[in-house]
Each structure stands twice: as structure tokens, then as C-alpha cells.
């Protein structure tokens, strides 16, 4: 983000803003009384203006009320035994909600944290590897490859609720397509969402199906801007495709890969809908976001607990976002 921001900000700063004459009195608009180049009566530039605040205000109001203030408010709520029906009945409990995070629960916060990590690692490793393979496979090329690109991307356009419902049926132990196919191929079948061991892999498979097309596009974008000169030189010297990828293409893709890893990490930590919809028996797919949701649904008296969990999730996300900021600056330097 900053690598594209920094130069842009620079542009806006360095933009020569020679004093542009502006018609002074408002009454004199559209009269064209001031010939261009003539000595300006009002030496103010129309850009330099406090109007800027007014123009930014609507957007800032939306973010302020629904995002920026609530972020601090979450922390505040997390210090209370919150009563949402009558806030005056809320009780200040200090860090008790945070202590409760580390206690046994069904499911406990630590379990949910573990599940979030499991999912994130699966998505990052699987998503990066598969999408990179796909990108190398379908980059550039003619109509057939463009069609394949569209095929990979189409799942990403489906609403999560609708497509995870379909995958719920695919994973159905008795009448699902997956077990049927495995049986036909004489491979072992599984309970998928209904077994603690296979439920998270199943959700990861669904999520990869949904996200890989998008990540592939990002990689294709990265491949499009790297130079083919080195690769060509290597091929002339008799370098095989595998070695060319490993020593020439892959290093040049490093900034893009870093970027993909970080956005996938942040996105996976926040993922919610598929866990809501594909929850089989038990809690083996209850992640942090689902835990927050389950404790914030209005009926339960655990809003303070949910807020504490949300604060922790927020802290983790900020951490990764800061890492992203640092690395993309570094990445930008490497790329340019």
C-alpha cells in the first residue's frame, strides 16, 4: 500500500501549484473579467482551502461513527459485565473478561484461537501454492486460457452463504458428491464436517475453492510486469523450465508473494460466513470470529466476553497489518 501511496503523495506535494488566479468576488463569476495571465487580484489558489474538511466530512462521519469510535468502544465494553438491555445495570469488572478468555469453555477462546491459526496456515500455504501454479498455467495466452481464468475466478463471485450451502451438501457423509466420488474411485470416505479431524480441512477446501481465483489474478498481475529478459537469457543458456522458475521467476515474484501471504492471513483471520454455515457437529471449526458472533448474538449476557475476544483479534490483525506495511515498503524497494 505505501509503495503506491508514497509516490502518489509525493506527486500531490510536488505538483507545481503556481499561483492560479481565481476570480476574487463571487459576484464576478463567469464574467471572464480577468484575462488569463493578468495580475491576479486574489493570489489564493483554488486548491488551498479549508473546504477540504467539508468535503472529507461525510466519509469521516461514516468511519467515525461505525468504525473508528467503535474500535475504542470495543475495548471499553470488554472491561464491563455488559448489560445491553439496560446499560446502567452494567458492572465494571476490569480485566475479568480477559481472564475468562484463558479459562475452560465450550468452546474455549484458546481452542478457537487454535482453529483460527489452523485455518489461516492452511489457507496461506494452500492458497499461495495453488494460485501460483494456476497463475503460471493460465497467464497470458489465448482464448482457452482466458476461459480457464474465468472458471477459476467464478467461485469467488458466489455469495459465501450460497456456495457454502452447496459445499455442505457436497461434504454430506451419506449423499454427498465427494464421498460418492471417492467410493467410485475405491478411496476411503470420511465424515467430513462431522468429524473433528476432517472438518477443518473440509472448510479449508471450500475456502480455497472460493479464494484461489482471486489470488491467481494477483499473481497473474505480478507475472505480467516482471521482465522476461532473464528467463530468455537462461533458456538460451539451456536452463530447464523448473530451474528457470526456481531461480529466475520465483525470486522476481517475491514482493507479490509477500503481499498475497499477508492479505490471505488477514482475510483468513477474519473469515466468518463459512464457519457459520458449515458448522457440523462439535466445535472443531469454531474460530475466533464465530466465537465472537456466538457470544454477541443479543440473547447471551456475554457481550463483554465477546468484546474481549474481539479486542484480541483486533490486536492480532493490527500486528499483521503493520508487518504488511513494513514489508510492502521493502517489497516496493526491491521491485523498483
Partner 1 sequence: MTLPLTSRASSRGHKLRGGAPRRGSGGPVGAWRGWTWTRRLVALLLAAAFLVPFYWVFVISVQPGTTISSWPLNLVPQWHWANYSRAWDLDTWPRYFANTVFVAACTVALCLVTSVLAGFAFGVLRFRGKKVLMGLILSVLMVPTVTLIVPDFVIANELHLLNTYWVQILPFGSSVFGIFLVRQFFLTMPQEIMDAAAVDGAGRLRILWHIGVPAVRPALLLIGINVFVASWNSFLWPQVMVTDPSKQPIEVGLASFTTDNGTDWSAMSAAVCFTTLPIMLVFLLLQRQFIRGAMTAAGSVK
Site for partner 1 in 143-202 (CB under 8 A): 144-145, 147-155, 157-163, 165-167, 169-170, 175, 177, 180, 183
CB of 270 to partner 1, least distance (A): 4
Among 14, 29, 39, 92, binds partner 1 (CB under 8 A): 29
The three cell numbers locating residue 2:
505505501
CA gap 203, 257 in Å, rounded: 23
x-or-dash string of contact with partner 1, 122-141, rule CB under 8 A: -----------xx-xxxxxx
| Ramachandran sector of residue 161 (left: φ over 0; alpha: ψ -120 to 50; beta: rest) | alpha
Q: Tell me, what DSSP letter sits at residue 64?
A: I
Q: Does 306 bind partner 1 (CB under 8 A)?
A: yes
Using alpha carbons only, give the angle 264, 136, 249 rounded to the nearest 5 degrees: 90
Q: How many residues contact partner 1, by CB under 8 A?
A: 132
Among 39, 59, 188, 336, binds partner 1 (CB under 8 A): 59
CA gap 137, 134 in Å, rounded: 5
Rounding to the nearest 10 degrees, give the CA dihedral for residues 285, 286, 290, 296: 160
CB of 34 to partner 1, least distance (A): 7
CB of 68 to partner 1, least distance (A): 7
Smaller CB separation from partner 1, 273 or 327: 273
Length of the chain: 336
Contact between 269 and 116 under an 8 Å Cβ cutoff? The reply is: yes
Show contacts with partner 1 in window 213-272 (CB under 8 A). Answer: 213-214, 217-218, 221, 223-225, 227-229, 231-232, 235, 241-242, 244-245, 249, 259, 263, 266, 269-270, 272
CA gap 309, 293 in Å, rounded: 10
Smaller CB separation from partner 1, 118 or 152: 152
Among 6, 41, 43, 51, binds partner 1 (CB under 8 A): 51
Amino acid at each position: 500500500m505505501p509503495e503506491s501511496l508514497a509516490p502518489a503523495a509525493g506527486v500531490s506535494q510536488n505538483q507545481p501549484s503556481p499561483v492560479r488566479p481565481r476570480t476574487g468576488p463571487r459576484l464576478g463569476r463567469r464574467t471572464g473579467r480577468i484575462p488569463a495571465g493578468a495580475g491576479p487580484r486574489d493570489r489564493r489558489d483554488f486548491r488551498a482551502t479549508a473546504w477540504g474538511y467539508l468535503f472529507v466530512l461525510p466519509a469521516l462521519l461514516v468511519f467515525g461513527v461505525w468504525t473508528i469510535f467503535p474500535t475504542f468502544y470495543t475495548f471499553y465494553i470488554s472491561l464491563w459485565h455488559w448489560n445491553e438491555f439496560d446499560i446502567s445495570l452494567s458492572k465494571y469488572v476490569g480485566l475479568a473478561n480477559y481472564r475468562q478468555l484463558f479459562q475452560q469453555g465450550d468452546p474455549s477462546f484458546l481452542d478457537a484461537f487454535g482453529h483460527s491459526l489452523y485455518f489461516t496456515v492452511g489457507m496461506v500455504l494452500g492458497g499461495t501454492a495453488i494460485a501460483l501454479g494456476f497463475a503460471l498455467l493460465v497467464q497470458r495466452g489465448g482464448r482457452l486460457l482466458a476461459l480457464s481464468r474465468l472458471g477459476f475466478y467464478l467461485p469467488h463471485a458466489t455469495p459465501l452463504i450460497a456456495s457454502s450451502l452447496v459445499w455442505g451438501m457436497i461434504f454430506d457423509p451419506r449423499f454427498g458428491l465427494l464421498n460418492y466420488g471417492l467410493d467410485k474411485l475405491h478411496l476411503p470416505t470420511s465424515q467430513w464436517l462431522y468429524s473433528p479431524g476432517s472438518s477443518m480441512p473440509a472448510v479449508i477446501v471450500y475456502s480455497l475453492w472460493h479464494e484461489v481465483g482471486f489470488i491467481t489474478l494477483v499473481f497473474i498481475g505480478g507475472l505480467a510486469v516482471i521482465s522476461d529478459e532473464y528467463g530468455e537469457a537462461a533458456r538460451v543458456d539451456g536452463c530447464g523450465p523448473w530451474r528457470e522458475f526456481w531461480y529466475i521467476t520465483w525470486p522476481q515474484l517475491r514482493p507479490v508473494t509477500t503481499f498475497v501471504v499477508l492479505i490471505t492471513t488477514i482475510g483468513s483471520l477474519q473469515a466468518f460466513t463459512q464457519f457459520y454455515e458449515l458448522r457440523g457437529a462439535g466445535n472443531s471449526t469454531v474460530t475466533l470470529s464465530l466465537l465472537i458472533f456466538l457470544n454477541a448474538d443479543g440473547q447471551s449476557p456475554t457481550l463483554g466476553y465477546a468484546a474481549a475476544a474481539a479486542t484480541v483479534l483486533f490486536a492480532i490483525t493490527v500486528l499483521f497489518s503493520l508487518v504488511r506495511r513494513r514489508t510492502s515498503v521493502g517489497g516496493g524497494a526491491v521491485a523498483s
